[in-house]
Amino acid sequence: FSSEELTQAYLQRIEQYNTRLGCFITVDPERSLSQARAADIRLARGEGGPLLGIPVAHKDIFCTEGWLTTCGSRMLSNFVAPYDAHVIQRFKEAGSVILGKTNMDEFAMGSSNETSFYGPVHNPWQLTHVPGGSSGGSAAAVAARLAPLATATDTGGSIRQPAAFCGISGLKPTYGRVSRYGMIAFASSLDQGGLMAPSAADLAWSLGTLTGFDERDATSVARPEEDFGAQLEHSLEGLRIGLPRQYFGSGIAPGVAQAVEEALRVYESRGARLVEVDLPHSELSVPVYYVLAPAEASSNLSRYDGVRYGWRASQYGDLNEMIARSRAEGFGAEVKLRILTGAYVLSQGYYDAYYLQAQRVRRLIQQDFLQAFEQCDVLMGPTTPSTAFRFGDKGSDPVQMYLSDIFTIGVNLAGLPGMSIPVGFDGQGLPVGLQLIGPHFSEARLLAVAHGYQ
Ligand code: GLN
């Protein structure tokens, strides 16, 4: 079948299910279909490439030329991007079709998609439950088969946690692997673009499209090109799987613990060896993250001033009031909380006590991981302490919400690659995710290890 037929089939599913699920903020069927027809011409000419003609959903954090790009915020509810993010540009060159822009927590701040200006996304497995966040739209779209593949970003877990909650596979690459150019900034030292798909094999075949050096991102890393798809088949014989003691303590829902134990037994039965390792500073990762990420966010989000683009208040006296009102109206409560926290920890008198201290502990957390990798090839544990929760369950207490990222945040602080793969269900029929963490630039290995289970 043609790319046009494939795209049409997905657009039909989106039309049928999106009102109930809320996965997409923007779809533009005519534009998608014309891209599909262009891909069909390339296919007819005998051109190849794994993504040629494949429709892909993009998180609404990636600037997409000519498309509304909102980042889930009222602040950007009128922003049509004048250029493509590096990631979007790469997908276009590969001949993939833009299926639409997916819903997300406002400015990627959240773990449940409840902070989006465009309303919540529903978990396809149980509509009363959240899909996770911040990439909830991408995760739910892939899980409900409204898209075969989706882009997403992960600053503290936003690819892995929603992938776990929705029962799909998600990969957060090593920091620097994927250019952040045109990816709307939240916390620049932690943000990393990545992918969501049903399986690790899908991720492996697509990853090469995203990776590679880009001079427009100062933290982009130049590495030799890798064929991730070709390295998928690898024996698990002798693989050393490290189990961080701190990821298996109390506080893990029984259904999650059981599914993860069973997955580990599968790995053992295929020749892997389990070793216990220590990440002594891991309990500090949430407090460190919630100093550093808001600090960076308060700086990054100062660009939204109502002057150049984005939301502008309609009534104001002088310039200062225009800026203040535009920001008061344009940002939601969680974003304001982060900006205030960030400005506080960066302010004179508090900088040393909070920001600088957090930077020091960040280094210790990174060293913990590097030491653990002296004893094992890959770390495994639950992606999240519980499965998807109900809407409103954690909304009233930000700390409860923040704790749902307790196992994912360390990976961002250390800049490591991490994955979540589905390993079954809890007693309530909600999916459980297994997290895989590898040393820097070990994506090929991680994908192969994930594929070895699937
Ligand atoms: N849930 C975390 C937060 O709210 C992480 C979000 C993300 O990875 N973008 O900041």
Indicate whether 346 pLDDT > 90: yes
Per annotation, catalytic residue among 32, 96, 116, 158 = 158
| Residue 252: inside a domain | no
pLDDT (tens digit per residue) in 380-417: 999 999 999 999 998 778 888 888 899 999 999 999 99
Cα–Cα distance measured from residue 302 to residue 426, given in angstroms and rounded to the nearest whole number: 42
**What pLDDT, on a 0 to 100 scale, did the predictor assign at position 376?**
98
Render 348-364 in DSSP notation, one character per residue. Answer: TTTIIIIIIHHHHHHHH
Cα–Cα distance measured from residue 49 to residue 305, given in angstroms and rounded to the nearest whole number: 42
Rounded to the nearest 10°, the torsion over CA 443, 426, 165, 147 is: 80
pLDDT (tens digit per residue) in 178-220: 999 999 999 999 999 999 999 999 999 999 999 999 999 999 9
| Residue 125: inside a domain | yes
Cα–Cα distance measured from residue 204 to residue 421, given in angstroms and rounded to the nearest whole number: 13
- Average pLDDT taken over every residue of the chain: 97
| Residue 440: inside a domain | no
pTM of the model: 0.98
Cα–Cα distance measured from residue 447 to residue 419, given in angstroms and rounded to the nearest whole number: 8
Sheet holding 55-59, edge to edge: 24-26, 97-102, 55-59, 150-153, 193-197, 169-172, 418-425, 431-437, 378-382, 240-244, 273-277
Q: Is 402 helix (H, G, I), strand (E, B) or coil?
A: helix
Indicate whether 419 pLDDT > 90: yes
**What pLDDT, on a 0 to 100 scale, did the predictor assign at position 398?**
80
Per annotation, catalytic residue among 32, 59, 111, 172 = 59
Per annotation, catalytic residue among 3, 73, 116, 134 = 134
Query: Cα of 36 to ligand 1 centre, how many Å?
Result: 33
**For the CA of 290, the nearest atom of ligand 1:** 10
Query: Cα of 311 to ligand 1 centre, how many Å?
Result: 23
Angle (deg, nearest 10), helices 200-210 and 443-453: 160
**What pLDDT, on a 0 to 100 scale, did the predictor assign at position 402?**
87
| Residue 119: inside a domain | yes
- The fraction of the chain above a pLDDT of 70, given in percent, is 100
| Residue 47: inside a domain | yes
Q: At 420, give phi and psi (nearest 5°).
A: -130, 135
**Domains of the chain: total:** 1
**What pLDDT, on a 0 to 100 scale, did the predictor assign at position 110?**
96
Spatial CB neighbours of 250, under 8 Å, sequence gap ≥ 6 = none
**C-beta atoms surrounding 365 within 10 Å:** 22
Range(s) of the domain holding residue 101? 3-214
**What pLDDT, on a 0 to 100 scale, did the predictor assign at position 400?**
81
Angle (deg, nearest 10), helices 200-210 and 86-93: 100
Active site residue 158: yes
| Residue 258: inside a domain | no
| Residue 382: inside a domain | no
ipTM value: 0.98
Q: Report the CATH number at residue 193.
A: 3.90.1300.10
| Closest C-alpha among 242, 346, 349 to residue 294 | 346
Active site residue 172: no
Cβ-count burial 5-22 (b if 16+ within 10 Å, e if not)? ebbbebbeebeebbeebb
| Residue 302: inside a domain | no
| Closest C-alpha among 433, 9, 21, 418 to residue 203 | 418
**For the CA of 157, the nearest atom of ligand 1:** 8
Mean pLDDT of 213-231: 96
**C-beta atoms surrounding 428 within 10 Å:** 12
C-beta 137 within 6 A of ligand 1: no
Cα–Cα distance measured from residue 344 to residue 318, given in angstroms and rounded to the nearest whole number: 26
Rounded to the nearest 10°, the torsion over CA 402, 284, 437, 370 is: 160
Query: Cα of 35 to ligand 1 centre, how many Å?
Result: 32
C-beta 405 within 6 A of ligand 1: yes
**C-beta atoms surrounding 378 within 10 Å:** 22
Query: Cα of 181 to ligand 1 centre, how many Å?
Result: 19
Mean pLDDT of 114-139: 98
C-beta 110 within 6 A of ligand 1: yes
Q: Is 426 helix (H, G, I), strand (E, B) or coil?
A: coil
Where residue 264 falls among pLDDT bands split at 50, 70, 90?
Answer: very high
